[in-house]
Structure formats: structure tokens, C-alpha cells
Structure 1
Amino acid sequence: MKWTGRFTDYNLHSFQKDLISGIIVGIIAIPLGMAFAIAAGVKPEYGIYTTIIAGIIISLFGGSKFQIGGPTGAFIPILFAIVLQHGYENLLLAGLMAGIILVLMGVFKLGVLIKFIPRPVIVGFTSGIAVIIFSGQIANLLGLSDIPKHENFLPNMREIIMHMDAVNLYSILIAFICLISIFISTKLFPKIPSSLVGLLVSSIVAALFFSGQVATIGSAYGAIPSQLPQLQMPVITMERVLTMLQPAIIIALLGGIESLLSAVVADGMTGSRHNSNRELIGQGVANIVTPLFGGIPATGAIARTATNIRTGAVSPMSGIIHGVVVLLILMLFAPYASAIPLASMAPILMIVAWNMSERKTFAHVLKTKTSDSLILVVTFLLTVFTNITIAVQVGLVLAIIIFVKRMADVMQVDKVELEEDLPHVVQSNNTNNDHISQHRVNASPTELYPDIGVYTVKGPLFFGAANMFEQSMIDLLQTEPKVLLLRMKKVPFMDTTGEYNVANLIKRVQSYGCIVLIAGIQPQPLDVIKRTGLIKTIGEQHLFARTDDAIQYAKGKLGYNNENT
């Protein structure tokens, strides 16, 4: 596999950042791995084995620079049902088969399907996960131990309310110390990871002054095992393969969706771009190897991936380090890690949830008051109150239904006018792209106006074509014109995903001093850029009804003499 771009310009400073991130994520991953394993109906050490092996392999072979792999909460209902119906040994076989399916999905390039998930679904899903992460730490912050755990949000909130009389003030104090340490560290020592400072300070205070008064990783989940994983081969027979085929397909599909959505979230937080097909292959290899050591199925973990990014990771090395850290703790430092208060973990994960909530983007889509807003809210609510599988499925179905209605509403047949908007402009570069064709001001072969780039955009700018639009424009804008004119007369429709990509393009070209002009924009796209505020970024004075007027304005801005025409 190609490693191009994953370690570009990597140096000692980069390794130091990855080391710190890997340590923090590794420490956080230990209780999560054990808890997910217990909830799935298997021994806690199997969650640790999964964290180590799958975490390292996914970082080595996956398609995202920042992805942290391991056991996740999304798998719990499925794995628990498999264990109850078929037993732990068959769970291992199902995990191995799911890994093979994921590899085949990557080989046949099915990872690109994630690009067809609309942005409101991604934002709604991510914001819902943030709420689940945040609310899931309330019990630890309040020191509520031994309360029943449920799959859904409301039952868990009900348990917290019913057990409020058991609030541990020492736990609240430890959590407060951790939170204050994080804020002070951020202000005074910005180069030191504040999460690590908060964890260390609060743990030391708890050990010195409140020993035995607050719940720790060890008291809540049992002692962390100190044995290395033992190699074991699942028994494979045709009968067992056929029996576990359907569960394996479910694991593969859910694992593929969650890992790719996690990678998309990572892209949004970092501005990077993952390789969907390589990510599926990496996930598949991890799920093939992990069952050989007794591990349960794994996928990309959104919370740990977000923590990895927020603590400064710059490459897949942080994910590898996170697995090595868990292995070292397993072998050497289990007693010390077991002493970390759960109350110290709570504010760290709550801050992570707050940072990954995409609250600004959520509000941005919500204020448009369009059908995209409905998709966003429905996906968000279903993620919080049901589960992510239902949320994504319903969000996609709703988006498809609304898209079909939109296309039916905007579909029209226009009479071809004989008079062209731009009589002095001819096509000089015909590309194979159906959405974009480049035009130049034509007077002679020497191109009298090389600083003016004129582009005609054709077709609706919606979630299926928006990425193509942005990437095609970036590919074509190699000359960095001083004025960019977008002819949008033939764009009948734009959604918030299309607006997002147009906004990214405009900010990119404006960063090097380029003036953006728009000619002939239709009422619906104009309404969208007004609702989102993009029109202020462009400037209302840069919108023109006709291309001729925009060309004259551009020539005036650049100081071209009219005699040159």
C-alpha cells in the first residue's frame, strides 16, 4: 500500500505530538475497551486485545491519517445478540468473516459510496454522537457507581435521576480539579496537552487525599489484565460459516459505515482527505487478525479519533503509539492505570464531545430553514434517542425522497436563445467534465486578459455533484487568476452541501487576493447564499445579471484599457 502523504515532512517535532496524543488516547482507550467488551457479553481483556491489535493495524493500513480503531459502542447490541445466540467462539468467526468482507469492499472500491451521504446527515450523526459521549460521562462526573447501563439515551438519563441521592461529592471535586487544570494549562502552557495535565493533576490529588473515596478504572471495571494476548484459531467449518454469514455481513456493513463516517468527521476537523477504499481494507485486515487473539470486531472510533486530533496528532503514528501504550500498560503499569479516577476522565471526554459537536455547522444548516434542516434534525434526534444505524438509514432515505422531490420541482425545458450572454467570449478549453467548462475572453491567440478566469457551471449543485464541482474548479484554477467569474445561469438548484463547497472554493481563491464575481445566478441558489450569509463573503456588488456587465467590471478593477477589446 502507498504511504504517500501520510508521513509527508514528518520530523521529530511531529513525533513528539504523536507521542503525546498516542499516550492520552491510549489511556482513554483502556476503560472504554474493557467496558465495550463487558457490555458485548465477553471478558474485559478481549476489549483490551482488540484495542491493541486492531488499533495498530488500522493505523498502519487504513486510509485516514487520524483514525483510531478499536471496539465501539455501536457494535454492542449486535455483538451481544451474537454471543447470546451463537456463543463467543462463533463471534470470533463472524468477526474474521466480516474482515474478509470489508477487504473485498475496499478492493472493489465501494468506499466511494460514503461521498453520497449528504452533509446534513453527517452533521446530525456527529452532533448526536457528541451528545451521547457527553451525557455518558455524567454518571462518572457525579460519582454514581453500579447503576444499570442501557443502550439508549433516555433510560440512562432516567437511571441517573433515580440515583441522584448517591452523588459522590469527592468525584465532583476531582472532576472540577481536572477541568480547572485543563483550562489553566491551556492558558499558561498552550504547548503542553491540557488533557494530560488535567488527568495527572486530578489523579495525584485523588491518590493523596481521597484514596478509596472515588471510583477508579480498577474499582469499576476490575483489574487490568497483565497477560499478553494468546493466539487462537477459530474452528472453521462450512456449517459454521453459513450460520455466521448473515451476522458477519451486518458487522461488516456497520463497521464500514462507522469507520468511514469517523474518517469523514476527522476530515472535517482537520481539513484532510481520507482514502475510503484503503480505509475499508485496513479495517478488514484488522478484523481478520484480531479474532486470532480473542479480540472482538473493531471499527473507527469517533470519540477516540476526535480526541486524537484535539490532542495534536499529525499522522497515523499516534494510532500506532496508542496501541503500544495500551500494550505496555497491560504488561507493566496495570496497577497505576487502574488507579485513575473515572471522574478525571469525565471532563476530558466532555470537552472532546463539545469540540466535535459541529455546533456552528449545525446552526448554519438549521438557519436555512430548508428540507436540509429537517434531515439534520431527524438524523440528530434518531442518533440520540435510538441508535446510529437507524439514524443513518432514515437520514439517507429522507434525503433521497427530498432530493427526488427537489429534482422534480426544478426540472424544466427552456427554449434555446440565439443570443449568447457573452458574444465576445468563446470556448477555448473543452473538458470532459459535464458540470464545468472554461471560457476565456477572446481577442487574439495571445489572450489579452489572462488575469480573468471565466467559468460556466451547469447543472444542480447538490450533495452528489458538489465535491466534483469544488475539485474540478481547484484543478482548473492552476493559474490563480486575479478575477474569477462564475456564470451560474444554468445552475437551477443548490443545497447546503453545494453551498459549503462553493464557499470553500471562494475562501480559497480569496486567500490569494482573487476577486470573485457571479453572473446570472438563479433565484433558488441566490436565496441559499442569502440565508447562509455567503453573499456577504462574496459581496453583493459582485453579483451581476449579465456576464458582459461582470466582464466590464473586472476589466475596470484590473485597469485594462477598453481599446484592447
Structure 2
Amino acid sequence: MKQKWFYIGRLSGYSLQSLQKDILSGLVVGVIAIPLGMAFSIASGVKPEYGIYTTIIAGILISLCGGSKYQIGGPTGAFIPILFGIVMTYGYENLLIAGFLAGIILFLMGIFKLGSLIKFIPRPVTIGFTSGIAVIIFIGQIANFFGLAGIEKHESFFRNIREIVVHFHTINFYSVLTAGICLVTVLLTPKFPLKIPGPLIGLLLSTFVASLLYPNQVATIGSTFGEIPSHLPRFEIPNITIEKIQQLIGPAFVIAVLGGIESLLSAVVADGMTNSKHNSNRELMGQGIANMVTPLFGGIPATGAIARTATNIKNGAVSPLSGVMHGIVVLFILVLFAPYASSIPLASMAPILMVVAWNMSERHAFYHVLKTKTEDSFVLVVTFLLTVFVNLTVAVEVGLILAVLLFTKRMSDIMVTTKALPNPKNKHKKVEAHMVTDARDCPQISIYNVEGPLFFGAAQAFEQSIMNTINYKPKVLLLRMGKVPFMDTTGESYLSSIVKGFSKYGIVLLSEVKPQPKSVLNKTGLSHFIGEDHFFKHTGEAINFALKHLNEDKCIGCKHFAFRECTVLSGTHKDVEEQRRTEFTTS
């Protein structure tokens, strides 16, 4: 068991050729990660070097401790709105605390094996907030793309749009040219068989043109944020207090949930590309460890990066060593080339983030859900609009609540309770709904088909459908529960009300009860109250039992003939025999 946890246990069959592949893939992904790390960091409202620190530390730890062999971790675009909001509201120091708390939450989620629960977050919610995040990132880069001056960043989407409109007259055409060069390069390089990633080529080319042809005409990382240090920051424990925990636990929870979703989605993508299988709970624990350690070195929250993970696999990664190598490459470049990074124009970073936003927008999935015009479309639109115009925290909370409420409604609509009788035209006399009419309805036995989950959303309707249709007091109430897959305590409570109320003057029988509902009835003691002899595996057995407990005096003269035995019980067969004898004597 220990071997599965320790990193060395994941290198069985590893060879020198495998190491070469991991070094190559780590080198490629590391080069890609540098501009993305800086861009995501700047867009989140913090200095670019913090994104590099995150790429190094979190990238190495997620590979070492995570549950996917191919996962590449680091800062991602999905975090930008929530991190920017925290920085604007609470400051950078408190962002580190929120990230640390998120790491604890992720680690505990892995410990308590909650990895599978994240997969149950509805797709419309994830598409909605992902598309909303993409819009926020894209709009947030317009100012840098056009080189607008005097822009103040706000958490409010409307205020940011207003800033762009008010200051658009300050457009810097040198910035537009720089951004255009980078954008065209990023869009065109995938069409050529190049090993060097497009974002890096675009960044270098546009920086070179700007430095050579029009120096000091565009804002750069150095002129805006200062020089990037060529070393990691010193280890420092944030000042965590009870008050700060209470203040930041909400944002930390959102970071943890979002990080968990992103990392597991990335791991699933990796599984599909490599025909492998990740460990979701271990992945959450690895993400938790990374996010607890990274803030101690000034890094921002991190998660699995889908695009970088896919690139890692495409370049031949064999083991988690490729992820470790990618972090080492970034560290090496930081130490050697950090001063040069300060001359990168902000206009060169903008198109890279815009392309990231476009790729993560899930526009095809958004349109697909939208055109269904169902409750899912409503959840999608609400989550999207709240992400853009309010904030990600509210969007996720409201989206999940709406999804749960709509799911509850759907399940309650599935619950159907109908009166039933044997079908006389069926040779097996199968009990079916819609066989009951005014002329054919046994006054002493009421049979109901109960279909659908009997839970809190449907329990009251179940009780009312039975009590409203029993306008007399039959001797036997038979509930056919073969199509009730699930029952909760609320459903049991309403069933108990029916059973205990009806048992005062009649008999309650249950047939075809599934294991889960039967287990609930056993635990609450209702099965004991009903009596084990009143539970039947087959409805036919229950009907035979019911016919033996009728008041036969009430059957005499009955013309309903609900069951085949009714001709005997009602005395009708005697009249038929007498008529036949009379006809025989006369003839």
C-alpha cells in the first residue's frame, strides 16, 4: 500500500528512453508555462513573478503527489476572476491565506474520498461559469491590447467596461501593432510543424519588434510591475488568525471546488488520451498539498491545466517526472533570464490570454445546451450571467442550488401513483394501470402501482394521490412497489402515515419491494408494524392473500368482476348453472 503512495512506486519499468521522453516533454511544457504563468498572474491582479513561483512549486508537487501520471499543474485562467476579486477586496496577503485554506480543503476532500462527488456537479453549471470566466478574461485584456492609459481595474464587470469606453481615446497604436504581431503569430504557428509553442514565438517576436523599432513606446512588465527577481522568494508563513479564516473561508471553498473540478477534468482528459486511469482522491490530496505549500513561497492557487497536460502527453510524456522536469525548466529559466522578461510588453501578453479565453469558452457546448431550451438551458444562462455580472462565488452557489431544485422537480414528476387491476385480456392477468372504471373497481381491494423514487420531493404527492382516490374504505390496500428504486426518510414518513392510518380499519400489503426501500423500512421499524407476512415477492401472491381476507357477504351480488374469482364470490356462477339446468329440462 505504501508503495502506491510513494513516488518511486510509480516508476516501475522505467528506462533511460523513458527519461529522455520525460525530459523533452517537460522542456516543451516548461517553455509554454512561463508566458502563461506570468499572464495569469497579471490578470489575477498580482505581480508576474508570483505566477512563475506557482508554476515551479505547484507544478513539481502536483506531479509528485497527485493521482495522474501526466498531470501538469500551475496557475490557470479559470482562477482569474476569483483571485482578482480576492486581491481587490482583501489584498495579496489574504490571497495567500485563502489559497492555503483551499489547499487544506482539497486535502481533506481527498482524505474523505470526495473525489467522485465533484463529478456530480451538473454540466450546465460548469459550462456556464467556464464560459463566464472566458468572457471576463477576454474583456480584461482589451485595455492592454489597445494600450489604454489611466485604466483602473475593478471587480465589477460593468465598471471595467465603462473604464474601457471612457479611456478608449487613449489608444496606443504601438501597443495595437505589438499585440497584433503576437496574435497573428499565435494563430498561424499551429499550421506549421514547429516544436516551439506559438505563444512563446509570438511573445519573443513581438517583444523583439517593440524593443528594436519603438522602444519605450509601450508599457512593459518592468515599467508596470518592476524588475522580475531571478530567485525564489524566501519561505514565510502567512499570519493566519481566526478572524481571517472566518473572512476567507468562503472564497477558499470556491477556490477548492473550482480547483478540484479543473484538476479532475484535466485528469479525465489525460485518461482519454493515454488509455490510463487516474486516482481522483489522491489527485485532490496532491492538489491540496501543492496549494498549502505554494503560498508559503508567495505563489497563487494552482490546479491541473488541461492544455498543458495535453501538450505534455502529445510530446511523449511517460511518467510524472515530466511534470517535475517542467517545473525545473521554469526555475532554470527564471534564474538565468528573469531580467530579460521585464522588457516583455503587456500588449504581447494580452493576445495570449485572449486566445486562452477563446479556447476555454466551450462555445460549442454552450450553444448545444442552450438550443435544447430545457431547464438545463436556464441553469446555464443564470450561471453564466452571474459569473460575468456578479462573481464566481455567487454563480456557483446559485447554479448548484438551481440545478438541485430542478432535479428534485424532475424526480418528483417521475413519481406516478395509479390505481390498477388485472387485465382480463392478458392471459397472465397482468396487473396494469387504467383497468379501473366505474363499472370495474373492487370495493374491497384497492391496488396501486407506485413508480419512481419515493423521496422528499415526491412523497407528499404520493400520499395525496392515494388518499384522494380512496373515497371509500376498502378492506385491503395493496401497494405494488417494484418500480420504486429509492426511498428516503421523508418518503418513509408519508408511507408510514398511509399505513398507520389505513391499518385502523383494513390491511396493508406491499409487493415487489426493492432492497433499498426495504432496508429503510427495516431500520425505521415500519416493516415490523406492517408485518413480514404482509410483504410479498410477487403481486399474484399478494392478491391471493387479499382475496382470503375479504368480507364475502359484501361480494354477493357484486357486478364489478375485478378478479377472476369474483364470479364465484358474487354467486353469479350459481345463477348461470341454474339457467343452464332450466334450459336443459325445457329442451
- Structure 1 and Structure 2 fold alike (TM over 0.5): yes
- Structure 1 position 138, deviation (Å): 1.4
Equivalents in 1 of 2:248, 2:161: separation in Å?
A: 32
Equivalents in 1 of 2:55, 2:26: separation in Å?
A: 17
For 1:211, the aligned partner's letter is P
Structure 1 unaligned residues grouped into runs of 5+? 424-457, 461-489, 493-565
Contact preservation (8 Å) 1:112, 1:276: yes
Aligned to 2:253: 253
For 2:125, the aligned partner's letter is V
Aligned to 1:17: 25
Aligned to 1:299: 302
Relative distance call for 1:234 and 1:394 in structure 2 (3 A) is closer
Residue 397 of structure 1 pairs with residue 405 of structure 2:
no
Aligned to 1:327: 331
State the Cα deviation string for residues 108-153 of structure 1 (Å, max 9, x = none): 1123221221111111121112212222221121112451111232
Contact preservation (8 Å) 1:35, 1:44: no
Equivalents in 1 of 2:53, 2:200: separation in Å?
A: 24
Relative distance call for 1:27 and 1:296 in structure 2 (3 A) is closer
Relative distance call for 1:384 and 1:343 in structure 2 (3 A) is same
SS in structure 1 opposite 2:227? Answer: coil
Residue 409 of structure 1 pairs with residue 417 of structure 2:
no
Residue 371 of structure 1 pairs with residue 379 of structure 2:
no
Contact preservation (8 Å) 1:171, 1:343: yes
Relative distance call for 1:313 and 1:245 in structure 2 (3 A) is farther
Aligned to 2:199: 195
Match of residue 109, structure 2, among 105, 112, 117: 105
State the Cα deviation string for residues 484-539 of structure 1 (Å, max 9, x = none): xxxxxx899xxxxxxxxxxxxxxxxxxxxxxxxxxxxxxxxxxxxxxxxxxxxxxx
Q: How does 1:137-536 map to 2 (within 5 A)?
A: 137-189=141-193, 191-233=195-237, 241-247=241-247, 249-266=249-266, 271=272, 275-293=279-297, 295=298, 298-300=301-303, 305-306=306-307, 309=310, 319-413=323-417
For 2:367, the aligned partner's letter is A
Aligned to 2:445: none
State the Cα deviation string for residues 248-304 of structure 1 (Å, max 9, x = none): 6335422221112212443575546654322321232123323443x2552327xx6
Q: How does 1:112-131 map to 2 (within 5 A)?
A: 112-131=116-135
- Structure 1 position 405, deviation (Å): 0.9
For 2:301, the aligned partner's letter is A
Provide TM-score, normalisation by structure 2.
Answer: 0.61
Contact preservation (8 Å) 2:72, 2:308: no
Contact preservation (8 Å) 1:99, 1:285: yes
For 2:254, the aligned partner's letter is L
For 1:300, the aligned partner's letter is T
Aligned to 2:71: 66
Contact preservation (8 Å) 1:255, 1:299: no
The 10-residue stretch of structure 1 (54-63 or 378-387) with the greater mean CA deviation from structure 2 = 54-63
Equivalents in 2 of 1:387, 1:19: separation in Å?
A: 36
For 1:17, the aligned partner's letter is S
Relative distance call for 1:371 and 1:318 in structure 2 (3 A) is farther
Count matched residues. Answer: 412
Equivalents in 2 of 1:348, 1:416: separation in Å?
A: 68
Equivalents in 2 of 1:352, 1:91: separation in Å?
A: 23
Equivalents in 2 of 1:287, 1:112: separation in Å?
A: 20
Relative distance call for 1:37 and 1:231 in structure 2 (3 A) is farther
Equivalents in 2 of 1:323, 1:58: separation in Å?
A: 10
Equivalents in 1 of 2:289, 2:88: separation in Å?
A: 23
State the Cα deviation string for residues 86-115 of structure 1 (Å, max 9, x = none): xx4x77666545534432221111232212
Equivalents in 2 of 1:211, 1:356: separation in Å?
A: 33
Equivalents in 2 of 1:491, 1:198: separation in Å?
A: 60
For 2:175, the aligned partner's letter is S
Relative distance call for 1:179 and 1:139 in structure 2 (3 A) is same
SS in structure 1 opposite 2:416? Answer: coil
Aligned to 1:530: none
Larger Rg belongs to: 2
Equivalents in 2 of 1:305, 1:134: separation in Å?
A: 19
Relative distance call for 1:381 and 1:275 in structure 2 (3 A) is farther
Equivalents in 2 of 1:62, 1:193: separation in Å?
A: 26
Relative distance call for 1:314 and 1:250 in structure 2 (3 A) is farther
Structure 2 unaligned residues grouped into runs of 5+? 429-450, 454-482, 486-587
For 1:298, the aligned partner's letter is P
Relative distance call for 1:163 and 1:366 in structure 2 (3 A) is same
State the Cα deviation string for residues 375-414 of structure 1 (Å, max 9, x = none): 1111111111222111111111001111111111121247
The 10-residue stretch of structure 1 (260-269 or 116-125) with the greater mean CA deviation from structure 2 = 260-269
Provide TM-score, normalisation by structure 1.
Answer: 0.64
The 10-residue stretch of structure 1 (189-198 or 202-211) with the greater mean CA deviation from structure 2 = 189-198
Equivalents in 2 of 1:180, 1:6: separation in Å?
A: 41
